[in-house]
Chain A
Amino acid sequence: KAGVTQTPRYLIKTRGQQVTLSCSPISGHRSVSWYQQTPGQGLQFLFEYFSETQRNKGNFPGRFSGRQFSNSRSEMNVSTLELGDSALYLCASSPSPQGSYEQYFGPGTRLTVT
C-alpha cells in the first residue's frame, strides 16, 4: 500500500501571499490530520477532517484553513503568509477518527516564507 503523500515537498513564498498544500491519505483512510512543526513551537495540531467534515481544530488563526474531498484527499490553505508560518507541515492519515488507531504521517511540506 502506498503511504501518505504530500505535495509539494518544498515551497518558497513571499509574505502576504497565500499557499495551498495537498495531502493524499493511505487508501481506505478517511481521517486526515494536519500538524505544523517549527523549531520554536514544536509539533502543533492544526485540524482534523473525517468524511469531509472538520472534527477538531487547533489554536491557529483563521488564516489557516483546510478541507477534505470525497476521495479523502485533503488540502490546507494559509492566506496572507507571515514569516512565522515558515515550517514543516505534516499530514497524517488514519482509518478512523476514534484516536485509538495508528496514524501514519507523510514526509511533510517544507514551507519557507521570505
Chain B
Amino acid sequence: AQSVTQPDIHITVSEGASLELRCNYSYGATPYLFWYVQSPGQGLQLLLKYFSGDTLVQGIKGFEAEFKRSQSSFNLRKPSVHWSDAAEYFCAVGATGGGNKLTFGTGTQLKVEL
C-alpha cells in the first residue's frame, strides 16, 4: 500500500525567503504525485501534479516540485514566499490503476513572518 510522509509539521519562513516543503512517498511503481494547499475553512486546491516525463513540474502561484525517484521524494519549492502563502500544504500519492483514491501526508502548516 502506498504511503506519504511529510516530516515537517510546522514551518515558519520570512516573507521573500525561499521555501522547500518535503515529501517522501512509498509506492512500488511510478506513482501519481500531487501537492494541494488548504486555507483555513476551505477545501483543497491543487498546486501541481506529476504523472510522468519531466521530473521538474511547475504549478500555480509560482510553486514547483521535483520528482526524485532515487530518493522517493517530491519536494515543493517556491523561490520567494508571499504572506498569502500561509496555509497548510498536503502531499498526496495516487496509485496507477487505483482510480482517484489519494493517500495524503499529514500536512505541513506554513507560517509566513512579515
Q: A residues near B, CB below 8 A? A: 4, 31, 33, 35, 42-45, 48, 50, 55-56, 58, 90, 92, 94, 97-108
Nearest 10 pairs of A and B residues by beta carbon? A105-B43, A43-B104, A105-B44, A107-B43, A56-B101, A56-B99, A99-B94, A97-B99, A42-B106, A45-B101
Report yes or no: B49 in contact with A99, Cβ–Cβ below 8 A: no
Is residue B32 within 8 Å, beta carbon to beta carbon, of the partner chain? Answer: yes
**Cβ A33 vs Cβ B106 within 8 A:** no
- The answer to whether B98 and A56 touch across the interface, beta carbons within 8 angstroms, is yes
- In whole angstroms, what is the CA distance A99 to B102 when docked? 9
Q: How many residues of B contact A (CB 8 A)?
A: 26
A108 nearest CB across to chain B (Å): 5
Measured in the bound complex, the distance between the Cα atoms of B106 and A33 in whole Å is 19
Q: Indicate whether A103 sits within 8 Å of B102 (C-beta atoms), given known contacts A90-B44, A108-B43.
A: yes
A94 and B100 contact, CB distance less than 8 A = yes
- Contacts A42-B106, A105-B36 supplied; 17 other A-B pairs, CB < 8 Å: A4-B43, A43-B90, A43-B92, A43-B102, A44-B104, A45-B102, A45-B103, A56-B98, A56-B99, A56-B101, A90-B44, A92-B44, A94-B100, A99-B98, A99-B99, A103-B102, A105-B45
Interface residues of B in 76-102 (CB under 8 A from A): 90, 92, 94-102
Whether B106 and A58, one on each chain, are in contact in the complex, defined by CB atoms closer than 8 angstroms, is: no
> Is the C-beta of B27 less than 8 angstroms from some C-beta in chain A?
no
* Minimal Cβ-Cβ distance residue in A for B98: A99
* Interface pairs (20), CB distance under 8 Å: A4-B43, A42-B104, A42-B105, A42-B106, A43-B90, A43-B92, A43-B104, A48-B101, A90-B43, A97-B100, A99-B94, A99-B98, A99-B99, A99-B100, A99-B101, A100-B51, A101-B100, A102-B46, A103-B102, A108-B42
